[in-house]
Structure 1
Amino acid sequence: MTDLTARAETLRGLHSGEMLVLPNVWDAASAEVVAEAGFPAIATASAAVSAMLGFPDGEGAPWQEMFAAAGRVAHAVSVPVTVDAEAGYGLAPREFVDRLLETGAVGCNLEDTDHRGGGLVDADEHAQRLADIRAAAADAGVQIVVNARVDAFLGDAGIPEPDRLAETIRRGRLYRDAGADCVYPIGVRGKEDLAALVIELACPVNGNTGGDLDLATLRELGVARVSYGPRFYRAALADFKSAIEKL
Structure 2
Amino acid sequence: MATETAPVFNEVALLFKSLHKPGDPLVLTNIYDEASTNAVISLNETTPHLVKALATTSYGIANTFSVPDGSLTFNQNLAAIQKIAPLARSANLPLTVDLQDGYGEFLEQCVHRIIYAGAVGANIEDSYSEKDFSDGMDSLRSVEESAERIRLSIKYAADIGLPDFVVNARTDVMRLEPIPEGWTREMMIQESVKRGKAFLDAGATCVFVWGRGVGQITKEEVKLLVKEFEGRLAVKLPTGNGRLSVKELAGLGVCRISIGPSLYGKDMHALRNKAERILMGDHHWNEGD
Instruction: Give the direction of change, closer, same or farther, for the CA distance of 1:223–1:157 in structure 2 (3 Å limit).
Output: farther
Deviation at 1:57, TM superposition (A): 0.8
Instruction: Give the direction of change, closer, same or farther, for the CA distance of 1:202–1:30 in structure 2 (3 Å limit).
Output: same
- Residue 54, structure 1, aligned to residue 59, structure 2: no
**Distance of 1:12 and 1:157 partners within structure 2:** 35
Q: How does 1:132-151 map to 2 (within 5 A)?
A: 132-142=152-162, 143-151=164-172
**Distance of 1:4 and 1:64 partners within structure 2:** 24
Deviation at 1:181, TM superposition (A): 0.6
Secondary structure of residue in 1 paired with 2:169: strand
* 2:224 aligned partner: 196
2:31 maps to which of 21, 25, 29: 25
Give the AA of the match of 1:16: K
Structure 2 contact 7–115 (Cα < 8 Å) conserved: no
- In structure 1, runs of 5+ residues without a counterpart are none
Q: Under a length normalisation based on structure 2, what TM-score does the superposition of the two structures give?
A: 0.80
2:96 maps to which of 82, 98, 109: 82
Secondary structure of residue in 2 paired with 1:3: coil
Greater Cα radius of gyration, structure 1 or 2: 2
Q: How does 1:3-42 map to 2 (within 5 A)?
A: 3-16=8-21, 18-38=24-44, 39-42=51-54
Structure 1 contact 4–104 (Cα < 8 Å) conserved: no
Residue deviations 1:68-88, cap 9 Å, x none?
101111111231110011001
* 1:129 aligned partner: 149
**Distance of 1:229 and 1:110 partners within structure 2:** 14
Instruction: Give the direction of change, closer, same or farther, for the CA distance of 1:176–1:157 in structure 2 (3 Å limit).
Output: farther
Q: How does 1:59-78 map to 2 (within 5 A)?
A: 60-77=71-88, 78=91
1:237 maps to which of 262, 268, 278: 268
What's the % identity of the aligned pairs?
32
Structure 1 contact 127–178 (Cα < 8 Å) conserved: yes
- Residue 220, structure 1, aligned to residue 225, structure 2: no
**Distance of 2:177 and 2:58 partners within structure 1:** 18
**Distance of 1:222 and 1:196 partners within structure 2:** 10
Deviation at 1:2, TM superposition (A): 6.3
Give the AA of the match of 1:224: C
Residue deviations 1:158-210, cap 9 Å, x none?
54333111000000000000010110001143000011001001252111222
* 1:120 aligned partner: 140
- In structure 2, runs of 5+ residues without a counterpart are 1-5, 45-50, 279-289
1:94 maps to which of 88, 108, 128: 108
Secondary structure of residue in 1 paired with 2:115: helix
* 1:111 aligned partner: 125
Runs of 4+ residues over 4 Å off in structure 1: none
Q: Under a length normalisation based on structure 1, what TM-score does the superposition of the two structures give?
A: 0.94
More divergent stretch after superposition (38-47 vs 151-160): 151-160
More divergent stretch after superposition (9-18 vs 130-139): 9-18
Residue deviations 1:123-159, cap 9 Å, x none?
1111011111111111111131100001010033854
**Distance of 2:178 and 2:84 partners within structure 1:** 30
**Distance of 1:99 and 1:157 partners within structure 2:** 36
